[in-house]
């Protein structure tokens, strides 16, 4: 009886969530949205106080089930379309996300520059560029606009860039915890936080070089946009904080006022009959120009790269990219006759070596099938993220993209000293010389440490061999680009690790050229896997929440759940249950 009640509650809960999901999907398709097109004289309203993320992700409650926000690529595509839409005369942008990744900021800066290049105005408003924080990203984005408004009480405190790393070794030593493992080589700084008490000299040198490159780009771009000398920009940044009036006097902003004052300026520029349209309204406008033409596939890698299927609940965030999913998407795109080229978008700090290697192999197979693969890098494409990219026909990165980190590490904690201090003895029975080699209770033997070191050497040798072959780097050039170093996109291009500096639009233009598509022709950018596959995964997660193992449209379920489903009129068969037909969006 108890098992029946559990099955009943689980099933009712699942069916309720599926019902909610169906309504949400119906809403997401725009079934209730107006079919009335926007009028002439539209000003696009963009709220960038929370810069769009690389993917909408966010799990069921965070975005997949209820529509969520548009990601950075969708946002940029809409801005490029608005630039060519004669009804759109300008944009009004609210600024305020000081933590946005610089790669995404540069995507938006390039889209704004294209928009302004069509003779359209771009006015921005910031409530504050002071009051704590560094305000590096939000001001970098604001500087691309034609006019910056700053609230009188907002102040200016754009303070530069800093990296802060807590080093835990002394604290772990006091606890009696030792970190075992190793890295290849000296510039691979990720494990240093656990194995050192401060930045080792090679890591300090490399990270400072990265900061200098990123900051140099900021200074150069801001100086150009604000018509200041680079030395003056550096001097002003070093003298913050100061008030809004001084920021205006120094030409860092254009006008002082409140949001309504900035909107009055928008009305003056656009005319009294202007319509302020949010990005979502413009996206749903039936009269918006929608590209139609040859198909280019878009495959995404966002988050840590892992093997197999991620171990997460149905409500968890999508913060990993599994090799199975990415390889399947690449294979689908490569085999689709209508797809002329593939753009592989990567925003990943790395992951497991076999998973990244599997994706690199899939990229190579797609190219062998005759489909050009153009890589577009986001905020970061490092370590395994770079490995996934290295076999692309052309690799495009933003100047601020953090990339390379060609190296490997493997570490784990051993609490033998802590346990001993607590009077806890862990005994071991084993078969095999290296059994228990990665134990958290007892340290590895000298022979086991040597075996681990050999494995790190082998992985590093294979990684660098593949990079050398893919990027045609040998000897000293390869060594100078590897050993765990990280680079900005600008420096990575100098090292021969990437080909071009730019964003998604440049990657698409290169894809067209590689596929033999005339540059004047429009293209349709189609996401792989298709949106319907994403919804099917959502359904599968909901079924797992109820203890049901989904296998396509047929699910194997416990007997109690099958019986309960039958009571709701759902067809039950011995050993499985077939769900009712799903809405078209889910097929």
CB-CB contact of 401 with 377 (8 Å): yes
Task: Pick the catalytic residue from 120, 137, 183, 188.
Answer: 188
User: For residues 515 and 340, is the Cβ–Cβ distance under 8 A?
Assistant: yes
Beta-bridge partners for 551: 554
Residue 298's DSSP bridge partners are 343, 527
My answer on whether omega of the bond before 92 falls inside 30° of 0, hence cis, is no
CA distance 547 to 557: 7
From residue 506, alpha-carbon distances to 205, 374, 381 in Å are 32, 10, 17
- Coarse DSSP helix, strand, coil percentages of the chain, rounded to the nearest 5 percent: 45, 20, 40
The DSSP string of 66-84 is T-----HHHHHHHHHHHHT
| Of 403, 401, 399, 395, the residue nearest 507 (C-alpha) | 395
Instruction: List the structure tokens of 146.
Output: 């034609």
Q: Which tokens belong to 541?
A: 């997660």
Q: How many residues does the chain have?
A: 587
Catalytic entry in 53, 137, 383, 488: 383
Number of neighbouring beta carbons within 10 Å of residue 119: 9
Paired with 255 in beta bridges are 149
Cα of 359 vs its chain's centroid, Å: 17
Mapped onto helix, strand or coil, the DSSP state of residue 95 is strand
HEC-encoded secondary structure of 381-435: EECHHHHHHCCCCEEEECCCCEEECCCEEEEEEECHHHHHHCCCCCCCCCCCCCC
Element housing 21 (H / E): helix 2-28
Whole-number Å distance between alpha carbons of 296 and 306: 26
Cα separation, 343 vs 394, in Å, equals 10
Q: At what angle do helices 102-117 and 72-83 cross, to 10 degrees?
A: 10
Q: Which residue has the tokens 């009036």?
A: 245
**Rounded-to-integer distance, Cα 371 and Cα 339, Å:** 8
120 part of the active site? no
576 pairs with which residues across the strands? 573
Question: Is 383 one of the annotated active-site residues of the chain?
Answer: yes
Structure tokens at 311: 């171990």
For 78, the token pair is 């809409």
Q: Mind telling me the catalytic residues?
A: 188, 383
């Amino acid at each position: 009886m108890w098992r029946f009640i559990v099955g009943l509650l689980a099933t009712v809960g699942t069916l309720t969530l599926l019902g909610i999901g169906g309504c949400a999907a119906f809403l997401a398709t725009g079934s209730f949205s107006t079919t009335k097109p926007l009028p002439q004289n539209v000003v696009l309203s963009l709220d960038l106080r929370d810069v769009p993320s690389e993917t909408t992700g966010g799990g069921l409650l965070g975005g997949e089930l209820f529509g969520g926000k548009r990601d950075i690529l969708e946002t940029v595509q809409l801005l490029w379309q608005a630039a060519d839409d004669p009804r759109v005369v300008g944009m009004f942008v609210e600024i305020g996300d000081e933590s946005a990744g610089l790669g995404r900021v540069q995507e938006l800066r390039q889209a704004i520059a294209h928009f302004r290049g069509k003779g359209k105005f771009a006015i921005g408003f910031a409530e504050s560029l002071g009051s704590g924080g560094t305000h590096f990203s939000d001001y970098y984005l604001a500087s691309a606009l034609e006019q910056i408004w700053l609230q009188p009480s907002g102040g200016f405190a754009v303070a530069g860039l800093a990296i802060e790393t807590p080093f835990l070794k002394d604290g772990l030593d006091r606890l009696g915890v030792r970190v075992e493992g190793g890295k290849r080589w000296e510039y691979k700084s990720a494990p240093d936080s656990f194995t050192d008490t401060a930045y080792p000299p090679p890591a300090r040198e490399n990270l400072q070089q990265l900061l200098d490159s990123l900051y140099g780009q900021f200074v150069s771009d801001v100086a150009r946009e604000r018509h200041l000398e680079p030395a003056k920009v550096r001097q002003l940044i070093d003298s913050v904080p100061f008030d809004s009036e001084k920021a205006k006097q120094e030409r860092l902003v254009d006008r002082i006022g409140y949001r309504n004052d900035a909107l009055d300026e928008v009305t003056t520029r656009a005319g009294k009959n202007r319509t302020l349209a949010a990005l979502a309204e413009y996206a749903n406008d039936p009269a918006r120009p929608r590209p139609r033409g040859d198909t280019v596939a878009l495959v995404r890698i966002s988050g840590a790269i892992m093997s197999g299927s991620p171990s997460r609940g149905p409500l968890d965030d999508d913060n990993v990219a599994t090799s199975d999913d990415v390889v399947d998407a690449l294979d689908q795109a490569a085999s689709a006759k209508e797809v002329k080229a593939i753009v592989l978008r990567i925003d990943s700090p790395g992951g497991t070596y076999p998973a990244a290697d599997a994706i690199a192999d899939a990229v190579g197979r797609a190219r062998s099938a005759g489909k050009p693969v153009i890589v577009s890098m986001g905020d970061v494409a490092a370590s395994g993220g770079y490995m996934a990219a290295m076999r692309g026909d052309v690799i495009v990165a933003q100047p601020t993209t953090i990339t390379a980190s060609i190296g490997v590490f493997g570490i784990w904690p051993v609490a033998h000293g802590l346990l001993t201090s607590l009077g806890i003895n862990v005994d071991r029975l084993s078969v095999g010389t290296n059994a228990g080699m990665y134990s958290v209770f007892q340290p590895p033997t000298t022979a086991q440490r040597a075996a681990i070191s050999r494995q790190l050497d082998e992985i590093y040798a294979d990684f660098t061999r593949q990079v050398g072959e893919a990027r045609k780097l040998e000897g000293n050039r390869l060594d100078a680009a590897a050993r765990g170093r990280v680079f900005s996109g600008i420096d990575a291009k100098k090292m021969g690790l990437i080909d071009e500096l730019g964003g998604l639009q440049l990657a698409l233009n290169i894809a067209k050229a590689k596929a033999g598509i005339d540059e004047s022709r429009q293209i349709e950018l189609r996401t792989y896997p298709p949106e319907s596959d994403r919804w099917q995964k959502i359904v599968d997660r909901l079924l797992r929440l109820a203890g049901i193992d989904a296998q396509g449209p047929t699910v194997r379920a416990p007997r109690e759940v099958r019986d309960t489903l039958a009571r709701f009129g759902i067809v039950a068969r011995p050993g499985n249950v077939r769900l009712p037909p799903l809405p078209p969006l889910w097929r």
